[in-house]
Amino acid sequence: MDVAYFLRQRMAFISNYFDVASAPFLETMRKIEEQEAPFVPTEFDPDTMDSSPAFLDEWLQAQAGAEIVGQTSVSMLSEALKAYFVTIERLAGLDCEASYGTKSFKKGFIQGYRTCFAAQGIDWSSCPADFKILEQVVLARNASQHSVGLMSPNAKHSKDTLSKHPNPLFISEYENDLLKRHGGSWLTEPNVHVTRASLNAALSEVEKLARWYDED
């Protein structure tokens, strides 16, 4: 079974999904910002209108939609990566958690499977994939799936995540600028924000892993 082939199929779907699903939200935001129809503001009347930007609610809804698409995409990538490891495990006739205990998986399934496969002779030191990025994929998925805020659909990076990855991959340019202005410390947890560039970076590391494992 060509496990890497099916992983790449999932990755291609995720990449396409991100573009197709986010496009209408981004287009709505663009039209509002450019004041294009149907988002052409009327002349401001101080007696009947407040000072909020025109179509603010519509812009915020579109932004939230784009954020959810990004969170969904990175969540699917995390699940695809997990399915990749599970498939390799099953094809090898292994039961990693039973053999090495839940403790080896306590820090996440990536670390658990690395421990298990290392015992089978896999030398991870030669793998070119950036496991810090792969771990952030899983952590972003966890944040997205366990978000409990009612005021906003946006998921936030946890304090534990920020202690491990103080300059996370999945943040907005605005919040990244805030980080720099405050000397590298967070005043509040930033949102999980997935851009095309950050998704590409994550997809690239998964591809490196799959290619290396095939050749190893």
Domain ranges of the chain: 3-215
pLDDT higher than threshold 90 for residue 54: no
pLDDT tens digit sequence for 101-125: 888 899 899 999 999 999 999 999 9
Q: Give me the pLDDT at residue 2, please.
A: 93
Higher pLDDT, 149 or 81: 81
pLDDT-derived band of residue 178, with 50, 70 and 90 as boundaries?
Answer: confident
Query: Which residues make beta-bridge pairs with 156?
Result: 191
Query: Of 124 and 42, which is predicted with more confidence?
Result: 124
Calculate the alpha carbon distances from 74 to 54, 142, 144, 155 in Å: 32, 10, 9, 12
C-beta of residue 131 within 8 angstroms of C-beta of residue 161: no
Q: What's the angle, vertex CA 185, arms to CA 181 and CA 191, rounded to 5?
A: 90
Which residues sit opposite 191 in a β-bridge?
Answer: 156
Whether pLDDT at 49 is above 70: no
